[in-house]
Chain A
Amino acid sequence: MNAKYETHEHDVLIIGAGGAGLRAAIEALAQGASVGVVCKSLLGKAHTVMAEGGIAAAMANVDEADDWRVHFGDTMRGGKMLNNWRMAQIHAQEASERVRELEQWGALFDRTKDGRILQRAFGGHTFKRLCHVGDRTGLEMIRTLQDRGVQMGFDVYMECAVTRLLKDGDRIAGAFGYWRENGRFVVFKAKSVVLATGGIGKAWPITSNSWEYTGDGMALAYDAGADLMDMEFVQFHPTGMVWPPGVQGILVTEAVRGEGGILRNKSGERFMERYDPKRMELSTRDVVARAIYTEVREGRGTEHGGAYLDISQKPAEYVKRKLPSMYHQFLELADVDITKGPMEVGPTCHYMMGGVKVEADTAASSVPGLFAAGEAAAGLHGANRLGGNSLSDLLVFGRRAGLAAAEHAKRTSTPSLDLGQIEEAERTMLAPFERKDGESPYTLHADLQENMQKLVGIFRTEEDLRLALTKIEELKQRSTRMTVSGSRMFNPGWHLSRDLESMLTVVEAVTRSALARRESRGAHSRIDYPKPDPSWGKQNNVISRRGESMELRQVPVPDMPEDLQSLVIEEKKGSAA
Chain B
Amino acid sequence: MRIVAENLSFTYNKKSKFKVDALAGVTLTIEEDSFFGIIGHTGSGKSTFIQHLNGLIPVEKGSLTVGDINLADKSKIVKKRYKELRSKVGMVFQYPEYQLFAETVYEDVAFGFRNFFPDASKEEEKKAVFQTLALMGLGAEYINQSPLDLSGGQKRRVAIAGVLVTKPEILVLDEPVAGLDPVGKNELMKTLRVLLDNGVVKTVIVVSHDMDEVCENCDSVAVFSEGRVVLSGSPKEVFKNSKEMSELRLGVPVTGYLKDELSKMGVEIDVDFTRDDFVEKVVEYYKNIK
- Say whether A and B bind each other: no
